[in-house]
Each structure stands twice: as C-alpha cells, then as structure tokens.
Structure 1
Amino acid sequence: MNYNNVTDEVISKSIKVHRKLGPGLLESAYRECLFYELQKSGFNVKKEVPLPLVYEDVKLDHGYRIDLLVEDKIVLELKTVDQLNEVHQAQILTYLKLGEFPIGYLLNFNVKMLKDGIKRYRI
C-alpha cells in the first residue's frame, strides 16, 4: 500500500468513527475506536507511543506520548477541543521533529463534521 493510500484510509476510518460516535466524547474514546478500526483494516498501529527527547548523548523522557502511530510513520494526535490552536500545532510539529516522522494529522473530534477538524502537517 502506498503512502497516499495509507493516509486516505486513516482519514476514512477517522470519519467513520466520528460518524458513529459524533462529537462530545472523551479523546480516549475516539482513540480506542480509531485504533480498533485501523487494526481491523490490517494496519500496524500503536497507541500512546512514548517519544523521548534526545540531546547529544542524553535521553530525556519528558512524557511525550503519540496518541496513534500508523505504519511507524504517520502520527495521529487526537483532540476534543472547541478549536485547534497554536499549542496543538506546536505539539504535533514537536512529535514529527523528535521522531523524524514525515507526516502527522491533528484530528479534532469535537466538531460537527470531522473534515472541519482535520489538519495535516509535514516536515
């Protein structure tokens, strides 16, 4: 499966979860359901992936955790907020940079239509 197909499927499964559950639940509920959908579709997906900060020879565990990591390259950061802001953007950009991941998505499930809560990031 090529890169675009993976991201298309990730978005499709995210929309499916949102349509079934609607807005207003805890982030953890969406994370578990999306994890289930992606696994069921045959993706290598991990949840709550720890991401250390490495500075020269020092490894610092500062509690960074990626909500979902798909195929060891696509970061999914789920939110249930009124509106995505610069802090959320900084969070996902930090994950992409520290983990050297090529692509990430902020998915805000607290919207009427999920397409309005999806932001894609690349480094």
Structure 2
Amino acid sequence: MAYELKEKGYLVDQQITTKINYGKIEIETPLKVDLLVNETIIVEIKTVEKLLPVHQAQLMTYMKILKKPQGLLINFYTENITKSMIPLINEYFSKLPE
C-alpha cells in the first residue's frame, strides 16, 4: 500500500519515532504506525476477522500522540474493503486550514 501511495505522489512514512512527554520526563519511542500519509492521515492496517474497539483506540492514540487530525482503519480480511474502512477524526481536525 505504501508503494502504491508513493507512486501516486503521496508522501508516506512508516514506523515513526517520536517523543512522548510524561510528567517531567520525555521518552523517545518508536511507534508502530503503519502509514503516515502527507503528514496528516494515519492509516492503520489490520487483517482480522472482526475489527474491535481496541483497534479504533489504538488508532486514536496514535493520532493524539502525533497530533494528527485524521485516521483511517482498514481491515483487509473482508469481502469489501471500501465498506469496512473506518475513518476517524479528532480535535486537531478543526484546526486544519480551509
């Protein structure tokens, strides 16, 4: 998927390292973000029989830590990927320029 997006001209990053502030300490940690597209959209890819609330929580956590406004949860274990995709937005979405 990363290859296809890059071929279409999108900027795609994977396996991002970021700093997390916890109290008075700063922790630099690698996140397991599947795809970060154009520095704005986090794409989390699953291959499971059924998406669970924990999958959405994982994506929302990545979005919050990285301060990204949009996320897309995709499950490839389905007959119709388009119908099973779950788009998510958070408080950073309202701060996007129009």
TM-score, L = length of structure 1 = 0.67
Question: What's 2:94 paired with?
Answer: none
Runs of 4+ displaced beyond 4 Å: none
Unmatched runs of 5 consecutive residues or more in structure 1: 1-33
User: Partner of 2:45 in structure 1?
Assistant: 78
Are 1:97 and 2:56 counterparts?
no
Does the 8 Å CA contact 1:51/1:65 hold for their aligned counterparts?
no
Equivalent position of 1:10 in the other structure: none
Q: Higher relative contact order at CA 8 Å, sep ≥6: structure 1 or structure 2?
A: 1
Shift of 1:48: 1.7
Q: Deviations over 1:12-42 (max 9, x none)?
A: xxxxxxxxxxxxxxxxxxxxxx000000011
Root-mean-square deviation (CA, aligned residues, Å) is 1.5
C-alpha offsets along residues 44-70 of structure 1, whole Å, 9 cap, x if unaligned?
Answer: 111122344222442224543210000
**1:61-116 CA distance string (max 9 Å, x none):** 45432100000110000000011111101100101111110000101011011023
What is the percentage of aligned positions where both structures have the same residue?
A: 32
Match of 1:65 in 2: 32
- Give aligned pairs, total: 90
Distance 1:64 1:39 in 2: 21
